[in-house]
Amino acid sequence: MPRNKETRHVLVARFSALGDIAMTLPAVYDACAANPDTQFYFLTRHHPARLFLNRPGNLTVVPVNLDNYKGVAGMWRLAKALRKRYGITDFVDLHDVMRTKLLRLFLGMQGVRSRHIDKGRRARAELTRRTNKVLVQLKPMPERYRDVFYEAGIALANDFDGLWPRGEAPVEEFASVTPPKREGEHWLAVAPFAKHKGKVYPLDQMERVIEHFNRRPGQKIFIFGFGDEESALIGKLARRYPSVVNMAEANIGLAAELALLNHCDTMLSMDSANMHLASLVGLRAVSVWGATHPYAGFLGWRQRTRDVVQLDMTCRPCSIFGDKPCYRGDYHCLCGINPRLIIERIGLPGNSKQN
């Protein structure tokens, strides 16, 4: 049933992958903190819904199976159901794709106010086109998310510092993988995989990085992956290097992985979801970029540009998401990165603290 009309009931929507949802979380939590009398509902897919740990009391996560709401008729049914169940008064669209555009239309027909994100699509096209690129830093996505709330008349706090304070996530969450960190130990998280080839540093070169840190006394290397294929590749590294822990095989779940990252010293990742997960627990991420570029606005929240590893090439970036075939055919943007550069960027244990 619709709620008290004097109370704002704000639907926030983003149907996307885990990394994209992670980038929205600081803005959403800050909106909740600044508006304790407003009820917020975050509409997303089932898998990223698990990301909202330690969420504010006025935030309800609404996971939805989009297969049950296909096409225009499906979005009409979803809009009606959301309006009826939650008494939605405002819609904050953080995705601006066909599904959410239809939701805006149908909710608007029921008197719901809406605002949507400006993704800067034209600037993205100019950044990634093959010739006459406009190489300028675009507005970071976390700032674009905050802009939508401001435009909707929703104030934001600046309180969110992470899902836990650094090093304070419950260690029992990952006790099946490793005992608590001992004094003098250094924990390196490595996420060598990504959805698209244009984002993946060659595994044989990544192995040289792992080999180097494996020789460091007191070192543990937690390598993250998903599925049987990635687990098998990590398993080969774990058999060669005693300090490696196969996190794909451990399969401890998202909450436990985030708790473990909270206790790590540094993460080495691609331009992938893992960089954004590191951001949510205050973990410094040294990130490797190939076909994509931080200029597009997808550098992790509060991550440092000096921790980006990339090559200056006239063809970069060739895409926003790394999903286009390589113009050159050799992926030199990744293969050309010397492992020594990554090793030096990670640095010594004393250099791993976030600023």
pLDDT tens digit sequence for 110-122 = 999 999 999 999 9
Among residues of the chain, what percentage have pLDDT more than 90? 95
Token pair in block for residue 274: 């893992």
pLDDT of residue 186: 96
How far apart CA 164 and CA 182 sit, in angstroms, is 20
Instruction: Give every CB contact of residue 54 below 8 A, 6+ residues apart in sequence.
Output: 163, 164
pLDDT of 24-57, one tens digit each?
999 999 999 999 999 999 999 999 999 999 999 9
| Residue positions counted in the chain | 355
Alpha carbon of residue 11 to chain centroid: 21
Give CA 21 to chain center in angstroms: 6
Q: CA 244 to CA 70: how far, in whole Å?
A: 44
- Strands 266-270, 285-288: parallel, antiparallel or unpaired by DSSP? parallel
Beta pairing partners, 9: 39
Report, as an integer, the average pLDDT of 141-152: 98
Bigger pLDDT: 17 or 210? 210
User: Which architecture, in CATH terms, is 9-151?
Assistant: 3-Layer(aba) Sandwich (3.40)
CATH class given for the domain over 175-351: alpha beta
Residue linked to tokens 């790590």: 264
Residue 350, pLDDT > 50, answer no
Average pLDDT, the chain: 95
- Contact call for residues 288 and 269 (beta carbons, < 8 A): yes
Q: Is 191 a residue whose pLDDT tops 90?
A: yes
Nearest Cα neighbor of 354 from 276, 285, 299, 258 is 285
**Average confidence (pLDDT) over 304-318:** 97
**What does the pLDDT look like over 6-19, one tens digit per residue?**
699 999 999 988 99
Model pTM above 0.75: yes
Full 3-state SS string of 31-72: HHHHCCCCEEEEEECHHHHCCCCCCCCCEEEEECCHHHCCHH
Q: Is 166 helix (H, G, I), strand (E, B) or coil?
A: coil
User: For residue 270, is pLDDT > 70?
Assistant: yes
Answer for the pair 176, 250: CB distance below 8 angstroms, yes or no.
yes
Q: What is the pLDDT of residue 305?
A: 96
User: pLDDT digits over 47-83, tens only?
Assistant: 999 999 999 999 999 999 999 999 999 999 999 999 9
Say whether pLDDT at 188 is over 50.
yes
Domain limits, CATH 3.40.50.2000, in the chain: 9-151, 175-351
CB 23 within 8 A of CB 104: no
How far, in Å, CA of 281 to CA of 258, rounded?
7
Given a cut of 70, whether residue 286 has pLDDT beyond it is: yes
Quick one: average pLDDT of 208-237? 96
Rounded CA-CA distance 3/100 in Å is 23
pLDDT at 1 over 80: no
Please give the Cα distance from 55 to 51 (Å, whole number).
9
| Structural tokens at position 230 | 């990635």
pLDDT category at 348 given cuts 50, 70, 90 is: low
Extract the tokens encoding 305: 């540009």
Mean local confidence (pLDDT), 159-169: 96
Q: Are 266 and 352 in contact (CB under 8 A)?
A: yes
In percent, the amount of the chain with pLDDT more than 70 equals: 96
Statement: residue 349 has pLDDT above 60: no
pLDDT band per the 50, 70, 90 thresholds, residue 351: low
Q: Identify residue 24 by its one-letter amino acid code.
A: T
Q: How far apart are the first and last CA of the chain?
A: 47
Asked whether the predicted pLDDT for residue 175 surpasses 60, the reply is yes
d(CA 172, CA 284): 23
* pLDDT beyond 80 at 171: yes
Q: Is the pLDDT of residue 309 over 60?
A: yes
